[in-house]
Amino acid sequence: MARWVYRFGEGSADGGGADRNLLGGKGAGLAEMTRLGIPVPPGFTITTEVGASWDAARGMPPEVRAEVDAAVAWLEATSGRRFGDPERPLLVSVRSGARASMPGMMDTILNLGANAVTAEALAKETGDRRFAFDAWRRLLVMYGDVVLRMSRTRLDAEVDRARIATAQRRGIDATRLGADELRRRVPDSDLDPDELAKACDALQALIATELGHPFPTDPREHLLAAVAAVFSSWDNPRARTYRRLNKVPASWGTACTVQAMVFGNLGADSATGVCFTRDPSTGEKRFYGEWLPQAQGEDVVAGLRTPLPLGKDEPGRAAESLEVRMPAMHADLVRVKDSLEISMRDMLDIEFTVERGKLWILQCRAGKRTVPAAIRIAVDLANEQRITRDEALVRVDADSVEKLLAEILDPAAPKHFLARGLPASPGGATGEVVFDPDEAERRAGQGKAVILVRDETSPEDIHGMHAARAIVTARGGMTSHAAVVARGMGKPCVAGCSALAVDVEAGTLTVTVHDEQGRPKERVVIRAGEHISVDGATGSLYLGTVPMVPAPLPREFDELMTWADEALARPGARHLAVRANADTPRDAQAARKRLASGVGLCRTEHMFFNDDRIDAVRQMILAASADDRAVALAKLLPMQRSDFEEILRENAGFPVVIRLLDPPLHEFVPREPKQFEHLSVVTGKTVRELVEASEALHESNPMLGHRGSRLAVTHPDIYAMQARAIFEAACKLAAEGVDVHPEVMVPFVISREEVVRMREIVEAAAAEVFAAAGRTVHWSFGTMIEIPRAALLAGSIADVVDFFSFGTNDLTQMTLGLSRDDAGRFLGTYVEQGLLAADPFRSVDVAGVGALVRRACEEGRAANPKLGLGVCGEHGGDPASIRFFHEAGLDYVSCSPFRVPIARLAAAQASVGKR
Amino acid sequence: MARWVYRFGEGSADGGGADRNLLGGKGAGLAEMTRLGIPVPPGFTITTEVGASWDAARGMPPEVRAEVDAAVAWLEATSGRRFGDPERPLLVSVRSGARASMPGMMDTILNLGANAVTAEALAKETGDRRFAFDAWRRLLVMYGDVVLRMSRTRLDAEVDRARIATAQRRGIDATRLGADELRRRVPDSDLDPDELAKACDALQALIATELGHPFPTDPREHLLAAVAAVFSSWDNPRARTYRRLNKVPASWGTACTVQAMVFGNLGADSATGVCFTRDPSTGEKRFYGEWLPQAQGEDVVAGLRTPLPLGKDEPGRAAESLEVRMPAMHADLVRVKDSLEISMRDMLDIEFTVERGKLWILQCRAGKRTVPAAIRIAVDLANEQRITRDEALVRVDADSVEKLLAEILDPAAPKHFLARGLPASPGGATGEVVFDPDEAERRAGQGKAVILVRDETSPEDIHGMHAARAIVTARGGMTSHAAVVARGMGKPCVAGCSALAVDVEAGTLTVTVHDEQGRPKERVVIRAGEHISVDGATGSLYLGTVPMVPAPLPREFDELMTWADEALARPGARHLAVRANADTPRDAQAARKRLASGVGLCRTEHMFFNDDRIDAVRQMILAASADDRAVALAKLLPMQRSDFEEILRENAGFPVVIRLLDPPLHEFVPREPKQFEHLSVVTGKTVRELVEASEALHESNPMLGHRGSRLAVTHPDIYAMQARAIFEAACKLAAEGVDVHPEVMVPFVISREEVVRMREIVEAAAAEVFAAAGRTVHWSFGTMIEIPRAALLAGSIADVVDFFSFGTNDLTQMTLGLSRDDAGRFLGTYVEQGLLAADPFRSVDVAGVGALVRRACEEGRAANPKLGLGVCGEHGGDPASIRFFHEAGLDYVSCSPFRVPIARLAAAQASVGKR
């Protein structure tokens, strides 16, 4: 029988750390911690299976309801408290928790169980009436906001009224204060209990108006509504956006955890905080965190109060550290975090609350970290022998390594220093200041580099953060929303930069620049659209644009890549080699530097656009006859030969796959009248003739047109020239003693007969060149498999070639009927609505394109057991695709030189067989 | 052990009629006739296997050579003659003969064995020196032409010199006669023997100059060279063109038959002729043929002499008939043709020669016939119980039935009569007169209708004949090249129209018009480019353009289609239903008339272009918002509803598949400034706004763009409107008691999730309409499978639909990476060079597209055993494709109403399991 609810508490739990998929990260962590004897408030988790099949219209299925009722009864018994009890009332939190962490994306309700009766009970029990009614008003506000989707502003207005009344009781005229200033002057912890009680009444009345009937008083009713809201929040717009950006499948669903409340705002001996077992920004092994005394729930991350450091080693802040203020709690916390890290074998993000001198752990999960931190932590954990080297390899998201290879502000460049905030996420960026997330998205869509500057960020800002190059906030700490999200996105972030004053309405950012002694020196006003530069590693902001340089790779990355290469050289297993796409000698050099095993794709036509060649290319294309064309080809031959010579020389000892001309000829024709005039001089034809010849090449669907080997069927002389250039270059180098391995590849084929015809052209050129040179070089012949028919007929093509190279870009376009140039209008919607699992141009479509690749590999190898198999589409640099190519049995992938390290890491990960 | 040479002679043969693939049509026919005791000169056939692997550079393989040598020795023994024998020399013919008849496309050499020695021997033996040297000079000319590829003009000039000398001996000054006139005045049979001998010497000298050494005298050497020439002629340009037009695979190769010569030019008791066992033009059961006394080889079909009738029933020509002139031979021939037709079970084309009073049969093969003749012959043979009705069904090439459905000159229209020739191939045509085949091809390529007018045609003219609407010749009979080829192509032809005088150089056709008494009345000069009209059924030519009307279907066609429908209704077998594509009520009516079983594809967008709708369509497309679009959709709804109502009404009792909007929206946007201005008035938007909105819809590869269900993912309201229109129409008809079966189909899908989304949209519309109407109608939901991914994932899509309809047009474009709009530049070359077996847009590409269709059928049916399977691409009307769809297990095909009878016949043929 299926089970829908898993309990945890009092040292035992139904689930454990391994039940992440069923209980979500939070639920599994709580169960695991309970088992480990860590102090965790008791509770229960409703599984992701319930969440995944949640139907808002139908509500909770009866079989689930029965288990929830039983779990509530158990929780009441375990905690010695009861829902609605006038003496010892039970208060619980209701939280989401998916398989993958989606911080802040879904809804949470705290203090559920509070009502008019239990607030009084709580006041009596704690002796703290303010606390008790504050708990109730928090529930009312969250319930109105999350469950009933009421206007948050209307709800907050009732509380602000209590603030004004409180201020007035103290003789302050608060009516003229702005909302932010009011909240700062009269924080929650200062509200007058009677005013709070009035606010609760007012909130109840507001909710009753919204509902059309009185607000129910029974906490059990609240619980059902809150669980429903949490499950439904899986599908809210910001959660959907987050999933799309982070490739989280919509089908996973969230779990929902109901847990007894503990309170960090129950007086001076109460507190709440967040800590990381290692530095999430650098990966350094140091205990790191923030806390706030007399605070509840989201106060630490909300940014309204600036949190205090945990350890006393923070320069100048020892006095406010937890270690000094609550030494016993600090010691408990250090013990807990050490034992948790050992048990969980990873850097952890731990939420804790101290309630009247007792430490409780509310959450523990793998901590979000920057890419350099992820690398350092994985390498350190392996060196500490907490995990194996293979585990360390798979701990690093290969895709994220791209961010490592990004750029930083040039340290040597002159800069106009503005201010320093917290170094919340490393990396450098330059861009125009934007204050509004929508505006950030709009401008980024126009290709502008933007820097989002906010007082603080919230989950509603996620799209603007995604669009921005960097994020800057005036408030909030290292664990604020802005900091956490920026690190997850791998974007630079400077948080809590208090020298900034953002005036969104005026569209200005005012910076108070301080001198070296920390005294205000000048005020700089920056308008929206003006440029600033951000250094997330130091927390510094600069005025204007600063040049960028490549980031130095962290030392640990080299160590990790050594392990990757060890894994890829391990005998007895099948490994993917990583080659690079290189169209020019310079690319080839870059690829060798990044340890590519040769060139997997050299696109000969990319050399055609050089200024000194395009004339000859155009002359060839617009030739009126074969003789005419021969003249142009004769001009191109020595140019192509010298290119090939350099690329082959650069890759001595390695294979170099050279693809013969692929794009439709009209890609090369002139566009401008001037170009036609110039060409008229070069070729001796009239402009009119040239324009007509160009127009005759127009195609309705160039993607499916006259290109690749089709050009060589109608104009074999073009491939003959290219093949001749390759073999002449190879013979020249061989004569010099250079070890060359040219692999000639023909594109866009659909039949065996066509491949045979292409091979004849290439072989004829080889025979002629070898005879003239008096020597031969070893070479091989292959074809791209990039049209569905070629994949379907791979078995018949395989024995006339030495290798296949899958062109998964075109194969994706044709298999899915998707023109990459045109898909922008709808592809995003497809991925967002789950009609396609992912963008098929980013990660190979395993179900469709993958089925063709697998079939072609199997039938190709069956027909020709020596057949080489590679891939040269952009998927060759995508880790998820590399995993698939490894499983499909390919020999190599080829990607841009830039992505070679990523591909090597991903290949090693596939090889050690995890992730 | 493989055997390369098959002998026949003296009543026994190594092969027989069943060995057509191995021996070619000619070789198999000769073997079969020999076995039947028909008088056939002995000989042997070198197999098609030798021909198919013929390598001109390598020559005859030794193992074949050995068998040929042995066969020559046997032939010498059998005939009692020897190659080069000075007393009884052996003379042979060397002819090609492929599996499929390719009349006149390959090379032939006659009189091989003649040389200086054997010519004298032959002169002595026959007592006819002219004959003997004529035989030798014919060999020399053919050898020079065919084997050595010398200029035919230079060779003929030597013979013409003998003609002039002959004339001069008779006191005629022939030097001023044109070549044609000279040949008419001094035919071959009149040449002076001594002049002939001199011509032979001159020809030998000419050949020696060409060769660079003396012409060899040994007939065995000639034989090897002639066999090599015949095999090589398989690959000459006109043979390749013929194969492409007639879908004959290049891989088949030709056989080569070497046969003892018999001579129809050995005096007054010799003759040669060609006959058909039934009328090849009408199919009427009457013995029909032509002959020439004192003639050899190709004289009958060459058109230089007008042949004589065989039977005495030809009005006014009894005296010159074979029946009167050689009654015994005629009686022999009638016996032979009767026994052959019974044995071969088909209408036959028989070549015969009478040598000094003895009848020899040289060839017998299924006779080429017009489409009406093919139908009549098949039906008559079945009614005569020579073949079964199922055999009769498969005897008719379903593809050719299209020609039956072509048009004829309107009998009621006024016409300006010019002349009457032989009714060589029926049908009517109107077009501009063209005298040159290249010009005919060029003008036809520009979309002009052309009529090719020639003195006579030759195999070199084949491309021009293919391009022309009709062919007219001034010379030649019913079996002339023009007549045979035109019948094969199904084009109208008037042959031997002696009132015409063609002056190619002047570019004029002069017609001598006769009055009813046959007296010349006037001369009309027609210039190239002027129009004439041709009636191939009567042999009449008319000046100017005559309106066309549909041809009445022959009575026998109805009988054949009755048998087809019987076959399609036969219990115990699986049959394909034939539906029609119908976009308008008019199409639907046409389809019902041709007995289509419902509509397989109604393209809703084809109704969008109507003048009264396009405004609303454009307003919808260029809408700036959903509200804006709603206004336009509301206008379209009643229009679509009324279309659907009419189409469903027309197909009461039958299923109607209605496809929701498919093409990209930019297909509908205005192109002309005027249209924009008009639309600006209609929509109230500025022209600039409309132009910008139109431009925003531009796509790089519209074939792979934002179309089909993708439109409904981003704009679900469009499909919702269309579905609503369908269900409202269906409910209205159902209320009237009309039996409606709407089948709603969505195009261009790639994933199950997408199909589910589409189904939701359609189901919501159905639920709403049914609720409002207070009734439901039975309907089904299906998807096109036209993108490779949909075919690959068919197993996952099948259980959320009721049917699949394969869109093989798009599936072909994507599977082969071929844009139909752009493939013209190279697709012909692919087919011609054998890189693709056939034009994949005409006949489905079984290896590629077919593999996807098979897979989708299998996996679809496995997932949903009730799944309906159909096809709605243009392949649905192509017989070869229909055969494949039958084998793949489809339920129905859908094609244009026009092709429904063709598809029904092809489906019946597939069902009776032959062809």
Question: Does B46 have pLDDT greater than 90?
Answer: yes
Active-site residue (options: B330, B466, B481, B575): B481
Active-site residue (options: B364, B493, B872, B895): B872
Reported as type and span, the H/E element at residue B122 is: helix B116-126
> Quick one: what percent of chain A has pLDDT higher than 70?
98
Query: Is residue A616 packed enough to be buried (19+ CB in 10 Å), middle (13-18) or exposed (0-12)?
Result: buried
Higher pLDDT, B241 or B284: B284
Q: Give mean pLDDT, residues B760-780.
A: 96
- Confidence band of B735 (pLDDT split at 50, 70, 90): very high
Q: Is A575 a catalytic residue?
A: no
Write down the pLDDT at residue A298: 66
- Over residues B316-344, the pLDDT tens digits come to 788 999 999 999 999 999 999 999 999 99
d(CA A697, CA A719): 19
Please tell me which of the candidates A705, A750, A789 has its beta carbon nearest to residue B819.
A705
Write down the pLDDT at residue B488: 67
Interface of A with B in 41-100 (CB under 8 A): none
- Over residues B575-625, the pLDDT tens digits come to 999 999 998 888 888 888 888 999 999 998 877 877 778 888 888 888 878
- What is the 8-class DSSP label of residue A757? H
- Whole-complex ipTM: 0.77
Q: Which residues contact A603 (CB under 8 A, 6 or more apart)?
A: A581, A583, A659, A662
Mean pLDDT estimate for chain A: 91
Lowest-confidence pick of A20-29, B303-312, B654-663: B303-312
Q: What is the pTM of this model?
A: 0.77
Asked if A750 lies within 8 A of B822 by C-beta distance, the reply is no
> How far is the CA of A821 from the CAs of A460, B141, B703, in angstroms?
31, 63, 12
Residue A816's closest chain B neighbor by CA?
B789
The answer to whether residues B747 and B709 touch, using CB atoms and an 8 Å cutoff, is: yes
List CB contacts (< 8 A) between B699 and chain A: 819, 821-822
Residues in a beta bridge with B512: B523
Q: Give mean pLDDT, residues A384-408.
A: 88
Question: How many angstroms away from the CA of A831 is the closest CA of chain B?
Answer: 11
Asked if B704 lies within 8 A of A706 by C-beta distance, the reply is no
> How far is the CA of A791 from the CAs of A614, A748, A816, B116, B434, in angstroms?
34, 11, 14, 63, 47
Query: Is residue B445 packed enough to be buried (19+ CB in 10 Å), middle (13-18) or exposed (0-12)?
Result: exposed
Q: Which residues contact A12 (CB under 8 A, 6 or more apart)?
A: A34, A35
> Quick one: what percent of chain B has pLDDT higher than 90?
63
Reported as type and span, the H/E element at residue A306 is: none
d(CA A803, CA B824): 30
- Confidence band of B909 (pLDDT split at 50, 70, 90): very high
Q: Give mean pLDDT, residues B646-657.
A: 94
B901 token code pair: 């009878």
d(CA B135, CA B91): 9
The answer to whether residues B350 and B363 touch, using CB atoms and an 8 Å cutoff, is: yes
Which of A858, A872, A863 has the alpha carbon at shortest distance from A745? Answer: A872
- Over residues A696-731, the pLDDT tens digits come to 888 889 899 999 999 999 999 999 999 999 999 999
Q: Give mean pLDDT, residues A20-34.
A: 93
Write down the pLDDT at residue B915: 41
B205 token code pair: 């000298």
The answer to whether residues A152 and A133 touch, using CB atoms and an 8 Å cutoff, is: no
Is A830 part of the contact surface with chain B (CB cutoff 8 Å)?
yes
A411 token code pair: 């340290």
- Over residues A651-686, the pLDDT tens digits come to 999 999 999 999 888 888 888 888 899 989 888 889
Question: What's at B698, amino acid-wise?
Answer: H
Q: Give mean pLDDT, residues B751-773.
A: 96
Q: Under the phi-then-psi rule, with left for phi > 0, alpha for psi from -120 to 50, and beta for the rest, what region is A685?
A: beta
- Best mutation site among B711, B751, B796, B797 for testing chain A: the one with the most A CBs within 10 Å? B751
Helix B152-169 with B129-142: angle, nearest 10 deg: 160
- What is the 8-class DSSP label of residue A573? S
- Over residues A790-816, the pLDDT tens digits come to 999 999 999 999 999 999 999 999 999
Give me the sheet containing B348-355, strands edge to edge.
B308-309, B288-293, B271-276, B348-355, B358-366
Asked if A789 lies within 8 A of B753 by C-beta distance, the reply is no
d(CA A431, CA A541): 12
Active-site residue (options: A222, A330, A481, A575): A481
A661 token code pair: 């001309």
- Confidence band of A823 (pLDDT split at 50, 70, 90): confident
Most distant CA atoms of chain B, gap in Å: 105
Write down the pLDDT at residue A915: 41
Query: Is residue A169 packed enough to be buried (19+ CB in 10 Å), middle (13-18) or exposed (0-12)?
Result: exposed
- What is the 8-class DSSP label of residue A506? T
Please tell me which of the candidates B706, B757, B851 has its beta carbon nearest to residue A822.
B706
Question: Does B477 have pLDDT greater than 80?
Answer: no
Question: Does A741 have pLDDT greater than 80?
Answer: yes
Residue pointed to by tokens 């996620």: A462
Question: How many angstroms away from the CA of B444 is the closest CA of chain A?
Answer: 19
Which of B499, B447, B445 has the alpha carbon at shortest distance from B472? Answer: B499
Q: Is B872 a catalytic residue?
A: yes
Question: Does A396 have pLDDT greater than 70?
Answer: yes
Interface of A with B in 458-517 (CB under 8 A): none
Write down the pLDDT at residue A909: 95
Which of A552, A522, B281, A519 has the alpha carbon at shortest distance from A511? Answer: A522
Q: Which long-range contacts (CB under 8 A, 24 or more apart) does A798-801 make?
A: A798/A859, A798/A860, A798/A861, A798/A862, A798/A863, A798/A864, A798/A867, A799/A863, A799/A864, A800/A752, A800/A755, A800/A756, A800/A759, A801/A755, A801/A759, A801/A864, A801/A867
- Confidence band of A304 (pLDDT split at 50, 70, 90): low
- Over residues A208-262, the pLDDT tens digits come to 998 899 999 999 999 999 999 999 999 888 888 888 777 788 889 999 999 999 9
B761 token code pair: 């949209």
- Over residues B792-850, the pLDDT tens digits come to 999 999 999 999 999 999 999 999 999 988 887 888 889 878 899 888 998 999 999 99
Is B852 part of the contact surface with chain A (CB cutoff 8 Å)?
yes
Assign A707 to helix, strand or coil: coil
Assign A425 to helix, strand or coil: strand
Tell me the torsion sign for CA atoms B618, B623, B628, B629.
positive
Q: Which residues of B268-289 are buried (b: 16+ CB within 10 A; e: fewer)?
A: eebbbbbbbbbbbbbbebebbb
CA A26, distance to chain mean position in Å, is 21
Write down the pLDDT at residue B469: 94
Q: Give mean pLDDT, residues A61-82.
A: 95
d(CA B350, CA B39): 13
Question: Does A481 have pLDDT greater than 90?
Answer: no
Q: Give mean pLDDT, residues A586-596.
A: 85
DSSP B599-624: EEEEEGGGGTTSTTTHHHHHHHHT-S
Residue pointed to by tokens 């492929």: B98
List CB contacts (< 8 A) between B696 and chain A: none
DSSP A73-135: HHHHHHHT-BTT-SSSB--EEEEEEESS--TTTS-EEEEETB-HHHHHHHHHHHS-HHHHHHH
Q: First CA to last CA across chain A, in angstroms?
A: 30
A470-473/A493-495 β-pairing: parallel
> How far is the CA of B179 from the CAs of A317, B16, B163, B499, B730, in angstroms?
119, 44, 10, 20, 76
Asked if B835 lies within 8 A of A788 by C-beta distance, the reply is no
Higher pLDDT, A784 or A101: A784
Is A816 part of the contact surface with chain B (CB cutoff 8 Å)?
yes
A599-603/A655-659 β-pairing: parallel
Q: Which residues contact A654 (CB under 8 A, 6 or more apart)?
A: A596, A597, A598, A599, A741
A92-98/A254-260 β-pairing: antiparallel
Which of A211, A186, A173, A80 has the alpha carbon at shortest distance from A134? Answer: A186
Write down the pLDDT at residue A303: 58
Q: Give mean pLDDT, residues A414-420.
A: 92
- Confidence band of A892 (pLDDT split at 50, 70, 90): very high
- Over residues B497-552, the pLDDT tens digits come to 888 999 988 899 999 888 777 778 889 999 999 999 999 988 999 999 999 887 77
Higher pLDDT, A529 or A300: A529
Write down the pLDDT at residue B772: 96
- Confidence band of A695 (pLDDT split at 50, 70, 90): confident
- Confidence band of B303 (pLDDT split at 50, 70, 90): low
Write down the pLDDT at residue B1: 46
Q: Which residues contact B616 (CB under 8 A, 6 or more apart)?
A: B632, B635, B636, B639
Question: What's at B504, amino acid-wise?
Answer: V
* Residue contacts between A and B (CB atoms, under 8 Å): 178
Most distant CA atoms of chain A, gap in Å: 104
Tell me the torsion sign for CA atoms A95, A98, A103, A105.
negative
